[in-house]
Amino acid sequence: MASKKTTDDSPKLPNVRVIDLFCGVGGMTHGFVRQGFSVVAGIDIDRTCRYAYETNNRTRFIEEDIANVTGEMLNRQFGGCDIRVLIGCAPCQPFSNLNTKKRVRSMKKKFPLEKFAELIAEIKPEIVSMENVKGLTQKGRSTVFRKFIRVLEENGYEIFYDIIDCSNYGVPQKRYRLILLASRLGKIKLMEPTHTNKKVTVRDVIGNLPPIEDGEVHPQDPLHRASKLSPLNKRRIVATPSDGGNSNAWPEKLKLECHKKETGRSYKGTVYGRMHWSQPSPTMTTQCYGLGNGRFGHPVQHRAISLREAALFQTFPRHYRFFPPNEEIHTKSIGRHIGNAVPVKIGEVIARSIKTHLEKSH
């Protein structure tokens, strides 16, 4: 990395190379690239991520199941360098609150995080970073995480981890995530929050975008497209008060039958709601383009948020390309890519923290 100029003109560092496991379309990688790191490869089983990953980050996408990745393969990609940084966001589905205990019990394959730990123990990269859902540390679900920590300790790593609210670092959404940093070079920690007193809001991010209707695509921005609403859902969003309103304001004829039952009361107000202009958005998910999938209604326009708006909430820059020119856009696929991504700004925060650590270590 010494030959590359970093974005903030920090002092030159030793030759550092990064590999991103579970890279997706490159949210984490792009954060590192913007901080001047040399990311030599991203690895993911989803081939549909290749175009976005390689086009925006000018590096190699390796389509491979993590189960088949070996330490030898990783070291071959690292090549001759002074510092190896291995980063990754292991798929979090088994630990998500949206999944059932039955699904966790039915998992017969090794957890991706366990494989991640095996690779670390095998090649002992100088620095490791992981981003994951906060539920990974919760009681009853933390066995795999404790094993991961134990592997790091046994291999000489100093470890930092914490659950952060990404909005405290300038991400315009309420997104709680577990961030882990580990180093064989000495103590390491995440940089201090930058936006605890001044959050980036929905208005800050999408307030100047041109208005569109549900089912419409903006002619100058194919990613600025909103899902078509059914006639019933159109009446529902029209009946939802602007700027933070929810289904509690609907007349009885518009209410969902499941929400009228005792078991569905906890969902009232949390789905089919509008975002607040003056607050960060809710957490982006793989289905954030759907009105009934959360509080994903536009603050004032009668529609769910567009794919462009979702990408901006994930702090992808406007120039980030998710699909080849002239290719048909599949909302479900792009929505999954955006929702699964690590926000680019969190990638930058982690990269800056590692950069500060390396400057102190050398």
Q: Of 92, 166, 258, 288, which residue is the catalytic one? A: 92
| End-to-end Cα separation, the chain, in angstroms | 14
Can you tell me the distance from the alpha carbon of 222 to that of 205, in angstroms, rounded to the nearest whole number? 18
| Distance, CA of 48 to CA of 59 (rounded, Å) | 16
Distance, in Å, from the CA atom of 248 to the CA atom of 273, rounded to the nearest integer, reads 9
Q: 3-state DSSP helix/strand/coil percent for the chain, to nearest 5?
A: 40, 15, 45
Report the greatest alpha carbon distance in the chain.
67
> Three-class SS of residue 115?
helix
- Alpha helix stretches (DSSP H) within the chain: 27-34, 50-57, 71-78, 101-106, 112-123, 143-154, 202-206, 231-238, 257-260, 307-313, 331-340, 344-361
Q: What angle do CA 5, 351, 224 make, to 5 degrees?
A: 90
Q: Cα–Cα–Cα angle for 152, 163, 153, nearest 5°? A: 10
Q: Judge whether 23 counts as a catalytic residue.
A: no
> What does residue 113 show for φ and ψ, rounded to 5 degrees?
-65, -30
Please give the positions annotated as active site. 92
